[in-house]
């Protein structure tokens, strides 16, 4: 196992270099950027941030917090923690959702501009579609701080603070391999193809798992991050591949759906992992229905963005590079009791 891990790390370095070299201005470029730069080391991003015009914000004390629907507990954690921090720093808060609709997001940016917002915190509705909205805010002297998902252009937002999906997916993939005993058939459930995080996580999974020749991926399906789709697709996969021993999932919502389908089928000992660190996944880990998850520290990311917005408005600088990665925490039965509402308390 140690030898294969060493090999995997070596291959990871090679793959990382290859991915970075292949960056282009499409959906995968941001993903590749995240994978290639696990720390605040992007000289290009730093240069872009350094040459940005200082934005002093609108004349109000309003911070807009724009996220996907808070019916998803991860985005609710983002909105709640960002709102709490902003209020503690003396700002008025308007927390709204774009529901993953780029047109609605554009309207919300217009509202923020009309309200002369001090700053915008946004978990965006599209890596390409969001660029124009952020530029529009900047033209109105309002700085934007992006969380969770990058956009496909540097030097527009003041900060892009995201989970280290590459590190997290690799870490949970290693736990998956261990749980599988380094052998057996497995399936993969992927997120939306248009989402950069889906590509990053899938690549990181395979970078680890593909080192083990006795492990075979017999089915890859896109369940679009959705629990119901994951349930339905897992049902089909289990019927088509009766010898399957594991399912690796791009997020916890799909992992929970897969676990429900496995339980309903009556099959035993199928290893399932996810990414996110939701309370629902934690419950499945405690009950033995999931091996683990990679916690994206949504609360830390959201509060960090607000703190940097406050510092930027006061000083003209965040003191950080534009692109920043927050490492994930690997959660298994051994440490799951330390996880609650996307916060890990060591």
Alpha-carbon span 269 to 186, nearest angstrom = 12
Per-residue pLDDT reduced to its tens digit, 253-281: 999 999 999 999 999 899 999 999 999 99
Asked if 30 contacts 315 with a C-beta cutoff of 8 angstroms, the reply is no
Structure-token pair, residue 299:
């609360």
C-beta atoms surrounding 21 within 10 Å: 9
Asked if 81 contacts 299 with a C-beta cutoff of 8 angstroms, the reply is yes
Give kind and range of the element (H or E) at residue 121.
strand 119-122
Q: What is the pLDDT of residue 15?
A: 37
**Percentage helix, strand, coil, to 5, in the chain?**
50, 20, 30
Q: Global pTM?
A: 0.77
Asked whether the CA dihedral 309, 73, 40, 22 is positive or negative, the reply is: negative
At which residue do the structure tokens 């994978």 appear?
35
Per-residue pLDDT reduced to its tens digit, 170-216: 999 999 999 999 999 999 999 988 777 899 999 999 999 999 999 99
Using alpha carbons, select from 39, 2, 34, 3 the residue that is nearest to residue 19: 34
C-beta atoms surrounding 1 within 10 Å: 10
Residues 6+ apart with CB under 8 A from 26: 152
Alpha-carbon span 247 to 259, nearest angstrom = 9
Alpha-carbon span 78 to 84, nearest angstrom = 10
Q: How many helices (H) and strands (E) does the chain have?
A: 12, 14
Per-residue pLDDT reduced to its tens digit, 297-311: 999 999 999 999 999
Measured N-to-C along each axis, helices 252-265 and 227-240 cross at an angle, to the nearest 10 degrees, of 50
Per-residue pLDDT reduced to its tens digit, 40-79: 334 444 444 445 689 999 999 999 999 999 988 889 999 9
Per-residue pLDDT reduced to its tens digit, 110-142: 999 999 999 999 999 988 899 999 999 999 999
Q: What's the whole-number mean pLDDT along residues 144-163?
A: 95
Angle at 276 between CA 301 and CA 119, to 5 degrees: 25
Q: What's the whole-number mean pLDDT along residues 80-102?
A: 97
């Amino acid at each position: 196992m140690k030898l294969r891990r060493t090999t995997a790390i070596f291959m990871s370095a090679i793959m990382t270099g290859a991915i970075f070299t292949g960056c282009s201005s499409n959906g995968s470029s941001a993903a590749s950027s995240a994978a290639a730069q696990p720390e605040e080391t992007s000289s290009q991003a730093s240069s872009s941030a350094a040459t940005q015009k200082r934005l002093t914000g609108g004349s109000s004390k309003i911070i807009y917090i724009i996220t996907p629907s808070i019916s998803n507990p991860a985005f609710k954690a983002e909105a709640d923690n960002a709102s709490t921090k902003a209020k503690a720093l003396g700002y008025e808060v308007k927390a709204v959702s774009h529901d993953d609709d780029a047109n609605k997001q554009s309207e919300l940016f217009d509202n923020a501009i009309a309200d002369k917002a001090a700053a915008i915190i946004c978990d965006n509705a599209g890596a390409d579609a969001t660029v124009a909205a952020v530029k529009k805010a900047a033209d109105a002297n309002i700085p934007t701080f992006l969380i969770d998902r990058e956009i496909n252009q540097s030097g527009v937002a003041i900060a892009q603070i995201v989970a280290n999906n590459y590190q997290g997916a690799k870490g949970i993939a290693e736990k998956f391999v261990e749980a599988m005993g380094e052998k057996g058939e497995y399936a993969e459930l992927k997120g939306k193809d248009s989402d950069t995080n889906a590509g990053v996580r899938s690549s990181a999974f395979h970078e680890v798992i593909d080192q083990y020749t006795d492990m075979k991926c017999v089915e890859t399906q896109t369940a679009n991050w959705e629990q119901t789709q994951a349930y339905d697709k897992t049902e089909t996969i289990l019927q088509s591949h009766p010898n399957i021993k594991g399912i690796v999932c791009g997020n916890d919502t799909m992992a929970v759906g897969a676990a429900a389908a496995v339980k309903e089928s009556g099959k035993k000992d199928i290893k399932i992992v996810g990414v996110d660190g939701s309370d629902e996944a934690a419950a499945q880990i405690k009950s033995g229905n999931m091996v683990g998850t990679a916690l994206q520290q949504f609360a830390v990311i959201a509060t960090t963005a607000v703190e940097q917005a406050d510092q930027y408005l006061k000083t003209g600088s965040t003191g950080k590079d534009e692109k920043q990665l927050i490492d994930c925490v690997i959660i298994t039965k051994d440490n799951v009791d330390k996880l609650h509402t996307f916060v890990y308390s060591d």
